[in-house]
């Protein structure tokens, strides 16, 4: 079935939450056979694979527990790449999608994202790289 217009452009990254960041960086560096593409001091690391997709790990610092910690339930989440974050959040809200913080974007040094829940309660993010 052909899609005339795609809202989501791809998967920007899939992240796992970890407890021991250094141990997890060593594990995934060995498993993937490459050094992280980017590291975030005391927070996480991300590997950009040859096909352009990214996998990352994060350990939420205490200061981020209040904001991001309540969104990522469990150990992982998917970040869907969108071209226009505000427009896609508005369109999804109109279709009844539930967002945390009423869809207010969260900002990091590398992106803006809005956390939502699917029909089963799984967390996802609409994500726009800077």
Query: In the predicted model, is pLDDT for residue 74 greater than 70?
Result: no
Per the structure, the count of domains in the chain is 1
Query: In the predicted model, is pLDDT for residue 57 greater than 70?
Result: yes
Domain that includes residue 44, residue range:
10-129
121 assigned to some structural domain: yes
20 assigned to some structural domain: yes
Instruction: Write down the pLDDT at residue 79.
Output: 87
Mean pLDDT of 61-75: 68
| Gap between the Cα atoms of 112 and 130, Å rounded | 7
Phi, psi angle pair for 110, to nearest 5° = -120, -5
1 assigned to some structural domain: no
| The pairing of beta strand 123-129 with beta strand 76-81 | parallel
- Reading the block at residue 41, the tokens are 């001091």
Phi, psi angle pair for 108, to nearest 5° = -120, 175
Instruction: Tell me the pTM.
Output: 0.64
CATH of the domain at 24: 3.10.180.10
């Amino acid at each position: 079935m052909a899609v005339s217009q795609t809202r989501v452009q791809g998967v920007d990254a899939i992240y796992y939450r970890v407890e021991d960041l250094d141990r997890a960086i060593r594990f995934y560096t060995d498993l993937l056979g490459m050094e992280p593409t980017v590291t975030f001091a005391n927070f996480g690391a991300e590997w950009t694979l040859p096909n352009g997709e990214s996998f990352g790990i994060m350990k939420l610092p205490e200061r981020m527990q209040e904001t991001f910690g309540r969104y990522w339930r469990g150990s992982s989440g998917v970040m869907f790449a969108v071209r226009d974050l505000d427009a896609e959040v508005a369109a999804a809200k109109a279709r009844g999608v539930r967002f945390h913080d009423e869809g207010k974007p969260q900002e990091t040094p590398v992106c803006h994202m809005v956390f939502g829940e699917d029909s089963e309660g799984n967390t996802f993010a609409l994500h726009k790289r800077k």
